[in-house]
């Protein structure tokens, strides 16, 4: 998180209903130590007031070319002082003007005059997003080096559903933070598993665990921030996939195993974060098993060990395992690492980690153990990846 502290960001708002999310985005960035200066188009003022954004940032909102500058060059002064410009929401019209270099107000002129990164968060109706013109404009902006955050799919203000919805404020904040991360994993392909698995008993019942998937999803986001190509094989969770990750949804351990087998050959790094069920039901029922007052006997059979399979491949990727223990953490974790011949294993106490927003990890490798003090899971994810990078530098992945 050090890369984002004390950074200066211009947060630009254009005229879309998603402008309300910019208020939360500003709050989240300021919470991380970012200096936020808001600039708004006239259209944005129809959706959120200057007063709201000024109250959140503690600075007057700028919207006029002649605001905030004694020399009449606010667009130059502001763009030179900024470490990045973030446009959220970015409407179809504003995207088109950016793509064609049109500049007739403070915000568009600032973007054209900038010498800092530009990030945009598209927000529009699904048909506007899918139109050939918008896709041409987005392709041009990407070719020009503009970072495009989103959009997402979902229910839109017009009542329709589809692609074009602006990312949520928390996702945008992560994207902005990630843009400042050194791209130490650029060109690397990372495959990871996350979340629980669900082993069906019958049509309505199953065996699962309390894994939230937060740690795995945090690692996926951190890896994206560091420039990796990320494939996330996820069990059932209530989390939004990080923008930019290839998401493969699975339920059972066998489905997760099949997905990993298909994808692992193309991976440089494999991280097994998922809490995979050790056992599954031998015979599942297609219908709900009716209660008859007696005991119900269920035969359980072992599930495949996904991590052990990957580590035992003839040419495996760099393998990282996770161990969630309830006792004897160090002993069991190191035993697991050695048994599966892993170069690195991250361990934590299950009762203190599952479902929590923060965590303490102990990393075990051939050099010994390394404690990552308790902190939020995104910070732990970045620390874990930094350790992986150190270990793999000599291996030249």
- Residues serving a catalytic function are 158
How far apart (Å, rounded) are the C-alpha atoms in residues 250 and 271? 16
DSSP string covering 328-340 = -HHHHHHHHHHHH
Residues 6+ apart with CB under 8 A from 107: 12, 14, 39, 40, 41, 63, 87, 94
Give me the residues paired with residue 302 across strands: 279
Exposed/middle/buried for residue 277 (C-beta within 10 Å: 0-12, 13-18, 19+): buried
How far apart (Å, rounded) are the C-alpha atoms in residues 372 and 369? 10
Exposed/middle/buried for residue 356 (C-beta within 10 Å: 0-12, 13-18, 19+): middle
**From the centroid of its chain, how far is CA 393?**
24
Region class of 228: left (phi > 0), else alpha (psi between -120 and 50), else beta: beta
Cα angle, residue 313 at apex, residues 371 and 237 outer, rounded to 5°: 55
Beta carbons within 10 angstroms of residue 200's beta carbon: 17
* Start-end of H helices in 101-158: 106-113, 126-130, 132-143
Comparing CA positions, the residue from 334, 336, 168 lying closest to residue 242 is 168
Region class of 68: left (phi > 0), else alpha (psi between -120 and 50), else beta: left
Region class of 70: left (phi > 0), else alpha (psi between -120 and 50), else beta: alpha
How many Cα neighbours within 13 Å face the side chain of 266? 10
- CB 167, CB 150: distance < 8 Å: yes
What 8-state DSSP symbol labels residue 316? Answer: P
Comparing CA positions, the residue from 175, 183, 275, 184 lying closest to residue 233 is 275
């Amino acid at each position: 998180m050090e890369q984002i502290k004390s950074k200066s960001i211009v947060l630009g708002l254009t005229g879309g209903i998603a402008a309300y999310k910019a208020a939360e985005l500003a709050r989240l960035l300021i919470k991380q130590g970012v200096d936020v200066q808001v600039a708004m188009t006239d259209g944005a003022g129809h959706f959120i007031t200057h007063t709201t954004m000024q109250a959140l940032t503690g600075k007057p909102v700028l919207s006029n070319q002649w605001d905030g500058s004694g020399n009449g060059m606010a667009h130059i002064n502001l763009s030179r002082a900024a470490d990045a410009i973030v446009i959220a929401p970015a409407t179809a019209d504003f995207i088109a003007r950016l793509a064609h270099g049109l500049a007739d107000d403070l915000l568009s002129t600032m973007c054209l005059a900038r010498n800092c990164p530009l990030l945009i968060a598209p927000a529009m109706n699904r048909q506007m997003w899918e139109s050939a013109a918008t896709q041409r404009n987005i392709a041009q902006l990407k070719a020009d080096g503009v970072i495009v955050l989103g959009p997402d799919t979902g229910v839109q203000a017009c009542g329709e559903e589809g692609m074009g919805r602006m990312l949520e404020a928390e996702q945008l904040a992560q994207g902005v933070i990630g843009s400042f991360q050194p791209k130490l994993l650029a060109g690397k392909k990372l495959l990871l598993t996350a979340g629980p698995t669900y082993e069906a008993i019958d049509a309505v019942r199953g065996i699962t665990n309390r894994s939230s998937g937060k740690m795995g999803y945090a690692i996926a986001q951190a890896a994206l921030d560091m420039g990796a190509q990320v494939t996330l094989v996820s069990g059932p969770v209530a989390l939004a996939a990080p923008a930019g990750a290839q998401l493969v949804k699975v339920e059972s351990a066998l489905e997760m195993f099949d997905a990993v087998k298909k994808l692992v050959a193309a991976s440089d790094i494999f991280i097994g974060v998922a809490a995979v069920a050790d056992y599954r039901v031998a015979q599942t029922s297609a219908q709900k098993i009716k209660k008859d007052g007696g005991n119900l006997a269920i035969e359980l059979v072992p599930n495949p060990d996904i991590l052990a399979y990957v580590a035992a491949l003839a040419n495996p990727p760099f393998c990282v395992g996770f161990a969630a223990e309830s006792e004897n953490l160090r002993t069991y974790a190191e035993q697991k690492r050695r048994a599966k011949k892993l170069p690195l294993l991250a361990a934590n106490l299950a009762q203190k980690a599952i479902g929590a927003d923060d965590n303490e990890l102990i990393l075990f490798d051939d050099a010994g153990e390394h404690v990552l003090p308790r902190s939020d899971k995104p910070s732990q994810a970045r620390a874990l990846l930094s350790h992986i990078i150190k270990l793999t530098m000599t291996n030249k992945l």
